[in-house]
């Protein structure tokens, strides 16, 4: 094997920018839980240890399909938010700004799970960046 081939085989694989989580805001979480459970068969249970009430949505899919969360709506126009996996939320947030988007919630931890940043694209759509990190505090 040539030295170039060895170098290429040692490259780390890029983190796929795919949706890994979604978050549904609800004016009435109990009503929303009932709706989605009946419609899709999702199992929705209270998420322990959160500052505000938050529910985990188990979609029933394998590890390659996203689960989600449900929370009390924080503002009248709060949309469903998709979380997209990135290697670094800080680097990805820089790119968001570079390409004309905005960071509307700066880097925040989810202890022992990772970090997120909430952004807005050039069309005013909201999405979040997610970085897995078991050491997040």
pLDDT at 124 over 90: yes
Q: Are 19 and 82 in contact (CB under 8 A)?
A: yes
59 and 94, same structural domain?
no
45 lies in a domain?
yes
63 and 99, same structural domain?
no
pLDDT of residue 10: 52
100 and 42, same structural domain?
no
| The residue to which tokens 């709706």 are assigned | 35
Tell me the C-alpha distance between 74 and 67, whole Å: 21
Domain end, chosen from 59, 82, 105, is at 82
1 lies in a domain?
no
91 and 61, same structural domain?
no
41 and 93, same structural domain?
no
Q: Provide the domain limits for residue 50.
A: 16-82
The per-residue pLDDT for range 70-112, each reduced to its tens digit, is 999 999 999 999 999 999 999 999 999 999 999 999 999 999 9
Tell me the C-alpha distance between 87 and 11, whole Å: 15
7 band by pLDDT with thresholds 50, 70 and 90: very low
CATH code of residue 54: 3.10.180.10
Number of domains in the chain: 2
59 and 111, same structural domain?
no
């Amino acid at each position: 094997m040539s030295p170039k081939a060895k170098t290429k085989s040692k490259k780390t694989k890029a983190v796929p920018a795919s949706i890994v989580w979604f978050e549904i805001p609800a004016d009435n979480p109990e009503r929303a839980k009932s709706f989605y459970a009946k419609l899709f068969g999702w199992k929705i249970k209270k998420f322990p240890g959160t500052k505000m009430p938050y529910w985990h949505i188990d979609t029933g899919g394998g590890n390659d399909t996203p689960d989600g969360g449900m929370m009390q709506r924080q503002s009248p126009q709060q949309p469903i938010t998709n979380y997209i996996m990135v290697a670094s939320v800080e680097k990805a947030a820089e790119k968001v700004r570079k390409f004309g988007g905005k960071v509307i919630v700066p880097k925040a931890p989810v202890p022992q799970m990772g970090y997120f940043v909430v952004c807005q694209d050039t069309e005013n759509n909201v999405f979040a960046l997610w970085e897995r990190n078991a050491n997040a505090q």
